[in-house]
């Protein structure tokens, strides 16, 4: 629901600058999921989207192995506790153990699914949105161990068009938009846009600029 609302607001802002398609959208992390929802809403409104560029982001739902993800999550939590007083670490571990023991012993009901769990593991009956625009994934060579094996990172089930992959050789997820990795990303993105017949914008001549300035002055008068 939140993605839908944010995507709608972004579309309104975007269309104040470019009222009609074709559109070219991109995003990383939450931005990738919002961009996908934008594509869904734009296509539903009859607009054309020529490209959705996904920067090293997996589909949210049912792509992670829950047990391995839990292992990763708690290892990160423990890592954050480094340097903390031993008492804090002991309290954290004791709290986790108590919750597990009570659940296994049947002394408390199964926990209600949190919004986090419902978002990431909605179940086998979950039916995702599908779009028609092509998707290109710009991905790092190595992916986290807790994801299911899928070179397309789950996006193959989300579009009726092709999904292409561009591997950023030295990219890492958290550093992909930073120097020097962003240069590799820019090169790969330029290559994809060139395949879509979108060359770089033609330079504006001085004569054209003078003519535009004269037209603007005439309008202002």
Domain boundaries, the chain: 2-62+127-217, 66-118
Which element (helix H / strand E) includes 159? none
Q: Which of 153, 162, 156 is nearest to 192 (CA)?
A: 162
* CA 50 to chain CA mean position, Å: 17
Q: Taking the CA atoms of the chain, what radius of gyration do you get in angstroms? A: 23
**31 burial type by CB count under 10 A (0-12 exposed, 13-18 middle, 19+ buried):** middle
What CATH number belongs to 2-62+127-217? Answer: 3.40.50.1820
* C-alpha dist (Å) from residue 162 to 67, 134, 158, 168, 171: 31, 5, 10, 19, 23
* C-alpha dist (Å) from residue 46 to 7, 79, 138, 193: 16, 49, 27, 23
To the question of pTM greater than 0.75 for the whole model, the response is no
CB atoms within 10 A of CB 93: 14
How far is 117 from 66, CA to CA, in rounded Å?
9
Q: Would you write out the chain's pLDDT as a tens digit for each of its 221 residues?
A: 578 899 999 999 999 999 998 999 999 988 999 999 999 999 999 999 999 999 988 887 656 656 565 666 666 666 666 766 766 666 766 766 665 555 445 444 444 445 555 655 556 666 678 999 999 999 988 776 566 777 888 898 889 999 999 998 876 777 888 888 899 999 999 999 998 875 544 544 555 445 444 443 333 34
């Amino acid at each position: 629901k939140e993605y839908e609302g944010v995507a709608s607001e972004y579309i309104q802002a975007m269309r104040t600058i470019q009222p009609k398609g074709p559109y070219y959208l991109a995003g990383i992390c939450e931005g990738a999921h919002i961009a996908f929802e934008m594509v869904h809403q734009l296509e539903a409104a009859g607009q054309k989207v020529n490209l959705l560029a996904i920067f090293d982001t997996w589909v949210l739902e049912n792509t992670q192995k829950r047990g391995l993800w839990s292992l990763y999550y708690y290892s990160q939590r423990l890592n954050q506790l480094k340097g903390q007083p031993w008492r804090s670490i002991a309290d954290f571990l004791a709290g986790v153990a108590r919750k597990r023991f009570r659940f296994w012993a049947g002394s408390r009901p199964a926990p209600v699914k949190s919004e986090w769990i419902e978002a990431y593991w909605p179940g086998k009956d979950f039916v995702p949105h599908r779009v028609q625009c092509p998707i290109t994934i710009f991905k790092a060579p190595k992916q986290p161990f807790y994801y299911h094996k899928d070179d397309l990172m789950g996006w193959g089930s989300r579009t009726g068009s092709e999904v292409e992959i561009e591997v950023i050789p030295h990219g890492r997820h958290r550093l992909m938009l930073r120097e020097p990795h962003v240069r590799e990303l820019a090169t790969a993105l330029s290559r994809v846009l060139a395949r879509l017949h979108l060359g770089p914008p033609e330079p504006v001549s001085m004569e054209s600029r003078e003519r535009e300035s004269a037209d603007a002055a005439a309008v202002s008068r």
